[in-house]
Amino acid sequence: MNFIWVWNAKSLKRYMIIAIAGLFTAGILWTGQSQVPVFTTNDEPVAIYKVEAEEKRLALTFNISWGEERAIPILDTLKEHDLEATFFVSAAWAERHPEVVERMVEDGHELGSHGFKHDHYTSWDDDEIKKDIQTAHRIIQEITNESSTYLRPPNGSFDDRVLKIAEGLNYDVIHWSVDSNDWQNPGVEKIVDNVTANVTNGDIILMHASDSAKQTNEALPIIIDKLKGQGFHFSNVSDLISGAEVSTQEVQ
């Protein structure tokens, strides 16, 4: 069981004031039978899964670890709609397809790390996790001349230990609140419904740009048009997080 936290600059300032004042009490938010802490003075690692946004803003994110055939049409669709997204790229994949990574950067998209080996970090020891994150960091930096600061662990697999290692390497772990399940290829209509049925302000949407996700690009323009019709605006993760309020969710 992990506690996932979302912070912003205003919240951090408030946190520091509380810490300096030596207030060690915690506010408790009750959700059903679960207790979800709202504030804590413990220096715990954090992960971001969504933000509390008053505006109708969403972040489109794509994981990619295999192939190049699906990525280019997705990039074309995003360019056609003048949208910026965040791509979490596997560094092993990036080594094989640097031209696609360069296209992402040229189109103004944000890059995050999806690690090097596409395996569950929670089954590795600390040194293996650290080495994989550092290897991915070096490769992505060599290709893009930019340093990634966001990490989405392979398979979305993390625990408190992974969070602490990532934090020690100056990475923020990014999860998601809306899962398209597009990698299962359940049909375009189902992918659209998975994303649009219960979307709310500040959601981070998970999609895939790997070749295994065969229906994503067909579903993507429908999703974009449908959500725009509901008044939503799209951004990358950094823009979504900027100015966000504190939000917590118990993730099991």
38-47, 88-97, 109-118, range with the lowest pLDDT = 38-47
What band does 1 get if pLDDT is binned at 50, 70 and 90? very low
Tell me what the pLDDT averaged over the chain comes to.
Answer: 84
Q: Does 191 fall in a domain?
A: yes
Q: Does 137 fall in a domain?
A: yes
How confident is the model at residue 39, as a pLDDT?
29
Domains of the chain: total: 1
Q: Does 129 fall in a domain?
A: yes
Q: Does 11 fall in a domain?
A: no
What band does 40 get if pLDDT is binned at 50, 70 and 90? very low
Q: Does 68 fall in a domain?
A: yes
How confident is the model at residue 35, as a pLDDT?
25
Residue 24 has pLDDT above 80, yes or no: no
Residue 67 structural domain: 50-243
Q: Does 189 fall in a domain?
A: yes
Instruction: Return left, alpha or beta for 22; rule: phi > 0 is left, psi -120 to 50 is alpha, else beta.
Output: left
Tens digit of pLDDT for each residue in 51-102?
Answer: 998 899 999 999 999 998 999 999 999 999 999 999 999 999 999 999 999 9
* Domain CATH code at residue 190: 3.20.20.370
Report the largest interatomic distance among the alpha carbons of the chain, rounded to a whole angstrom: 55
* Percentage of the chain lying above the pLDDT 70 cut: 79
Residue 27 has pLDDT above 90, yes or no: no
Q: Does 125 fall in a domain?
A: yes
C-alpha distances in angstroms, 33 versus 29, 30, 37, 38?
11, 7, 13, 16
Tens digit of pLDDT for each residue in 128-160?
Answer: 999 999 999 999 999 999 998 999 999 998 999
Q: How far apart are CA 112 and CA 147, in angstroms?
A: 9
Q: Does 72 fall in a domain?
A: yes
